[in-house]
Amino acid sequence: MTLTTSYVQEIEALDVPTAIHQRRSIKSFSSDPIAPELLEQLLELTVAAPSSYNLQDWRIILVQDPAQKAALSAASWGQQMVVQAPVTFVFAADPNAWQKNLPLILEEGLRSGAWSEGTASYFKQAIPQFQTALKDKAREYAIKDAIIAATHTALAAESLGLSTCFMNGWIEEQVKAIIGAEDPDLAIALLLPVGYKAEARLNPGRLPFSVNVSIDRLNNPYPGV
C-alpha cells in the first residue's frame, strides 16, 4: 500500500506480517528527524488501537525536547535510545479517564452510527459500574489499553520505515515527574523511542510453540501442523 504524505516522500508501507517479522528492538538510532506528517500518521495508527469499552484511557506524551529526552534517559538507567531517537512516546495509563471520556465516546459512537441509542444508554450505566467495580485493578486495565496502543505504534512505525524499542527499564516516579504528571493514579505503561535505526539487529529468536502454546488447557502443547 502506498501512503502519500504531503511533504516529500511516498512510503511503500509494509504489510502487517512483514512488519511483524522485520521489527527489532533497536538500541541505536540516528538523529534524523521524523517529518511532522509522518508522526501524525503514526499517531492516527496508534489511536486506532482498540481499548476496553473504547475508553481510550491512554495518555501519550511525545518527548522531543533535548532536555526532556536527557531527563528521560537518566530516569531509564541511562539508556541512550531516548536521547538519540527524535521522539519517545511515553504511554501513560489513566484509570480515571473514563469519567471524562465517557460522554465523548458515547457521542462519537452515536455520531458514527456504530452504536444505537440503546447501546449508548446501556454503556452509559454499564461503564461506570464496571470501572468502579475494578477497584485496584483499574490501573492494570488502563495499562492493558496503553500497551495495546504502543504495540500499534511499534508495528505501524515499522511499516512506515521507522524503528522502535519497547522499554520497561525506567523509574516510574521519575518519568512521571518529567512529563509533569501530578495525578497519583496515573501509571506509566511503556516508553517507546521512535526514529530511524543506526544499526542492524538480528532476531534473538523465539521459543518453539511446544514451550508456551497449549491446546485447551495448560501443559497440553500445541503440536504444530
Binding site for ligand FMN (CB under 6 A): 24-25, 27, 79, 165-169, 203-204
106 or 178: CB nearest ligand FMN: 178
Q: How far is the CB of 28 from ligand FMN (least distance, A)?
A: 10
Q: How far is the CB of 61 from ligand FMN (least distance, A)?
A: 17
30 or 54: CB nearest ligand FMN: 30
Separation of first and last alpha carbons in the chain = 31
Q: How far is the CB of 18 from ligand FMN (least distance, A)?
A: 15
CA quadruple 139, 144, 147, 153: dihedral sign = negative
- Residue ranges of E strands in 22-106: 58-63, 87-93
79 or 101: CB nearest ligand FMN: 79
Three cell numbers, residue 168: 520497561
Q: How far is the CB of 81 from ligand FMN (least distance, A)?
A: 7
CA dihedral 43, 90, 168, 37 (to 10 degrees): 30
59 or 197: CB nearest ligand FMN: 197
Q: How far is the CB of 203 from ligand FMN (least distance, A)?
A: 6
91 or 141: CB nearest ligand FMN: 91
CA distance 82 to 79: 7
Rounded to the nearest 10 degrees, the angle between the axes of helix 66-74 and helix 172-179 is 170
Q: Which residue has the closest beta carbon to ligand FMN?
A: 169
DSSP 8-state code for residue 167? B
